[in-house]
Amino acid sequence: MACRWSTIPLRVVLILGCMAILGCGSKEPKRVQAIRIIQYGIMEYGGASLERDKTSSIKADISRASAIRIAVPTDRIPLREGLSYGISFVVEGPVTSQTIPVKVILKSSHPCVLRSTGEIVYQNDTVMEARIGVPRYVGGRIVSEKENLCVGSSLQPGSETFEIYYGGKKYAEQRFEIVTDDGIQ
């Protein structure tokens, strides 16, 4: 009988240990099942305001808009000053009211020499909050020489790639080709 009683606490300890490992009752956000890009292309937006993006690795500005849409679905972006392009993505998983931090990296095929530091960079990292099941937009813009964070012109053809990460794992990416002429009006 003594042997039987000594195994009960061991079972309880094992069950509690498994619950701790699996995070039962945890206040952490539910697991992300997938992050999908649902649209991409040339963007239009309204009600925009410009502010400093506190999470940007190169201290870029961010535009917050009250209305955003993908106006022209394409992965070929005409090299026109002021043109915005980007993606809409959704985080899939158990729906909760919590937001999760999603890291978005915009990689460029050509180097940027930052005006502020002289550092050569090929990407900008930023962290944004995303709610499971709710579409989010993120984009880039072909800027003028005056607006450019880099020395020299950003008005050159090449490629730009958006990558989306959560918990250190890459879930999605979309590549754009910036072209001198592709017939889009």
> Distances in Å between the alpha carbon of 31 and those of 7, 42, 58, 132, 134?
33, 31, 30, 10, 15
Q: What is the set of domains in the chain, with CATH numbers?
A: 27-179 (2.60.40.2390)
pTM of the complete model: 0.72
* Predicted confidence (pLDDT) per residue in 10-28, tens digit: 443 334 443 444 444 444 4
Contact by Cβ (8 Å): 140, 78? no
- Please give the Cα distance from 131 to 33 (Å, whole number): 13
Q: How confident is the model at residue 35 (pLDDT cuts 50, 70, 90)?
A: very high
pLDDT of residue 147: 72
